[in-house]
Amino acid sequence: MTEIRKVGVVGAGLMGSGIAQVSAAAGYDTVVREVEQGFLDRGMARIEKNLDRAVAKEKLGPGERDAIAGRLHPTVDLADLAGCDLVIEAITENLEAKHELFGAVGGVCEDDAVFASNTSSLSITELAAGTDRPDRFVGLHFFNPVPVMPLVEVVRCGQTSKETFDVAFAFAKSVGKSPIACGDNTGFVVNRLLVPYMLDAIRAYESGIASIPDIDKGLRLGCGYPMGPFTLGDFVGLDTLYHITEIMYNEYKEARFASPPLLRRMFLAGYHGRKTGKGFYDYSGPEPVVSDFVK
Ligand code: CAA
């Protein structure tokens, strides 16, 4: 079985930086690649902040933090992925961009390197088919925030070899996660169930049954969820949620995956949640309040 020593993470956004952090923390030399120095710096600063916070809480010693930081190799040069045994892609949810990236990485890495995508909704089968190694391609879907959430969905498509799946599953365990095995259906397990639930919450609000804070409160206090559906939507990003609904509806053609009109309008208006400061809630004050778009 392929031994993973060096890991490449492509994309240093919220997900990529989190994946790089847990990989380096687990002892892997980890190359982090971004297209632009500014994006790379932002991703590395996020990791540094997380590690510093862990040191301040005495969950990590300063020596361990420095060792983790020493295993992270930020770069804007794709050629630095040479020698990686596993490359995990966490770039924008765009099929062409991912195909282009894997084409280029295929020219840099050894033939036996395993390629993985952190996509939450695109088809692993389609991504694998566009590479030079469909049998060595797998989905590794982490959850936000990556350093905290214990789940990884390990997604096997028809072309994935057993060895590749086993390598990916073992890797997820080795970075301290609890993986589950999934077949390649859009949304895998979690988003297939979570997205219709979040969309139903928006429809419930649209039909006037309760306010946004009360629906959130109901699900938090009535079901023990850490966040209500609107808080979670803002946390995931309403642009991301909207794009996922488009992909899922396109695959299943079922009304429960279709975007409610309100979500589409908030996406078009740039109310993307925490990342833009406003979504269902406005985050500009000391406590979130219902945003002007839905007042
Ligand atoms: N990055 C790193 N660590 C973070 C963090 C972040 N963004 N946010 C919180 N943490 C850490 C904190 O440092 C803290 O660590 P310690 O326990 O070591 O002190 C711990 O998480 C708990 O944080 P808080 O006490 O500040 O806050 P909390 O108890 O409210 O937890 C939360 C925050 C973990 C985000 C929690 O609210 C939660 O689990 N929310 C639901 C998240 C969720 O459902 N994620 C999945 C989204 S769907 C997805 O990702 C799939 C997709 O494809 C769209």
CA separation, residue 112 to residues 24, 109, 132, 156 (Å): 22, 8, 11, 17
- Tell the residue nearest (CA) to atom 30 of ligand 1: 226
**Could you check whether the bond before residue 229 is cis, i.e. omega within 30 degrees of 0?**
no
CB neighbour list of residue 135: distance below 8 Å, 6 or more residues apart: 159, 160, 161, 164
Atom of ligand 1 nearest to the CA of 194: 48
Whether residues 152 and 198 share a domain: the answer is no
The parts of the chain modelled with pLDDT lower than 70 are none
CATH number at residue 286: 1.10.1040.10
The helix or strand, by DSSP H or E, that contains position 142, with its residue range, turns out to be strand 137-142
Residue where the block lists tokens 């996020």 = 46
In this prediction, residue 245 carries a pLDDT of 96
Alpha-carbon gap, residue 275 to 51, rounded angstroms: 21
- The answer to whether the predicted template modeling score (pTM) of the entire model surpasses 0.85 is yes
- Tell the residue nearest (CA) to atom 42 of ligand 1: 144
Tokens of 225: 């969820």
Give the residue from 219, 144, 139 showing the smallest Cα distance to 179. Answer: 139
Choosing from 183, 216, 239, the residue where a domain stops is 183
CB 18 within 8 A of CB 89: no
Q: Which residues line ligand 1 (CB under 6 A)?
A: 50, 53, 57, 59, 120, 143-145, 147-149, 191, 226-227, 232, 236, 240
Q: Is residue 100 part of a domain?
A: yes
Q: Is residue 295 part of a domain?
A: no
Whether residues 134 and 170 share a domain: the answer is yes
Choosing from 183, 201, 230, the residue where a domain stops is 183
Expressed as residue numbers, the domain containing 74 is 6-183
In this prediction, residue 2 carries a pLDDT of 77
In this prediction, residue 295 carries a pLDDT of 85
Alpha-carbon gap, residue 95 to 91, rounded angstroms: 10
In this prediction, residue 150 carries a pLDDT of 98
Task: Pinpoint the alpha helices (H) of the chain.
Answer: 14-25, 37-56, 62-71, 95-106, 124-129, 162-174, 190-206, 212-223, 229-236, 238-252, 261-269
- Tell the residue nearest (CA) to atom 7 of ligand 1: 145
Atom of ligand 1 nearest to the CA of 141: 53
